[in-house]
Amino acid sequence: MKARCPIDWTLFYATVALAILGATMVYSTSSLLAEQRFGSHLFFIKRQIIWFAISAGMMAVIIRLDLKRFGQYTPLAIIGVIVTLAVVFLMPARNGSHRWLFLGPFALQPSELAKIILLYYLAHSLSRADCDIRDYRKSLLPHTPLIGVILALIMLEPDLGSVIVLGLTVLTVFYMAGARVLHLGAAIVPLALGGSFLVFGLSYKIDRIKSYLASLSDPLQGSYQVKQAILALGAGGFWGAGLGDGRQKHFFLPYPHTDFIFAATGEELGFLGLLFALGLYAVILYRGLKIASYQPDRFGYLLASGVTLCLFFNVAINIGVVTSLIPTTGLPLPLMSYGGSSLLVSLLSIGILLNLSQRRDGWCQ
């Protein structure tokens, strides 16, 4: 039996560094809120540490599995995802959305799990010998109903950010698998029409769109969250106000430990702190794509590319929102934001990449 390569330690260390930075900023930005709301400044960081321990344990298991062998069970996993995405509508709403399954004191977001399981399913399905990727009747067409159901359920929660991330990733995976650009363009049209109808016909998130468009001509007309995020980034300057000394987290900047943790980090650690975080994300992106490029088969190539790009799109959209480049979507920042589901899926994605890094063909370095 051919010996496996060691895991990609550069990717591992970059992930650990980002997780430590994230946990530090979660505590710094949430302690005041936790003290006021729950009577303990450790409330949020305790939960984050518990989720990290659970996620790290599952990541360790993922690293040891034969991912290609378990690919045959992905159809069952997809059915489970669809069921959980439907069950969330029976759960109590939180902030006007039905996104979470409540499991005792914890909450799980099925839309996050849907990302990684759908990509796993597509990597397995598109790498089968009987799948002619150039023929849309054997590639795009059989997968469209399944993908459409998952995206529709996530949209109804509503969670437009996850729909955008998953939609972009799925299209990219099909392209990297060899699908024709013309066929992909035809698949984008109904998605674009459906999204336009939701926004302009049913006024879904229309206020956020209007606020963003108004801010392009006058920044003072932008949404409250984005204005406070920009103020936080500006206040940090080059060196930052100092860890724990940020002011925007004092109930000015909404969600400083979740969706807008990038802005809070910029205020306390400055441009240098943000540059450090972006450098770590760049390392993860580079190593993930390099692992994909050295895979010995299409399954590994598509799976490594898919999970890497999914993380990248998530990071890019979150930072785009915080810096007012795109409208607000409500996505967490992978590996840094508070939230069990996001941390779990991020570490599982890294676990998949570390697993695949062991099967690099002639690249054990």
pLDDT tens by residue, 154-167: 988 888 889 889 99
In sequence order, which residues have a C-beta less than 8 Å from that of residue 44 and are 6 or more positions away? 26, 27, 30, 31, 33, 34, 257, 338
The answer on pLDDT for 222 being more than 70 is no
Only one residue has tokens 């990290």, namely 52
Pick the range with the lowest mean pLDDT from 49-53, 100-104, 158-162, 191-195.
Answer: 191-195
How does the average pLDDT of the chain come out, rounded? 87
How far, in whole angstroms, is CA 309 from its chain's centroid? 9
Angle between helices 110-126 and 140-156 (to 10 degrees): 180
Query: Which amino acid makes up residue 270?
Result: G
Residue 97 sits at φ, ψ, to 5 deg, of -125, 150
Q: What is the pLDDT of residue 119?
A: 95
pLDDT band at residue 220, thresholds of 50, 70 and 90? low
Nearest to 86 by CA among 150, 142, 40: 150
Q: What is the pLDDT of residue 205?
A: 62
User: Can you spell out the DSSP letters for 185-222?
Assistant: HHHHHHHHHHHHIIIIIS-TTHHHHHHHHHHHH-GGGS
Query: Which amino acid makes up residue 101?
Result: L
Residue 103 sits at φ, ψ, to 5 deg, of -120, 85
What phi-psi label fits residue 158: left (phi over 0), alpha (psi between -120 and 50 degrees) or beta? beta
pLDDT band at residue 361, thresholds of 50, 70 and 90? low
Residue pair 176/301 in contact (Cβ under 8 Å)? The answer is yes
Characterize 311-322 residue by residue with b for buried, 16 or more Cβ atoms within 10 angstroms of its Cβ, and e for exposed: bbbbbbbbbebb
Global pTM exceeds 0.85: yes
> pLDDT (tens digit, 9 = 90+) per residue, 233-245?
988 899 999 998 8
Residue pair 99/159 in contact (Cβ under 8 Å)? The answer is yes
- In the chain, DSSP finds a helix count (H) and a strand count (E) of 13, 2
Query: Which amino acid makes up residue 78?
Result: I
> pLDDT (tens digit, 9 = 90+) per residue, 254-270?
889 999 999 999 999 99
Residue spans of the domains in the chain: they are: 9-357
> pLDDT (tens digit, 9 = 90+) per residue, 279-329?
999 999 999 999 999 998 999 999 999 999 999 999 999 999 998 888 878
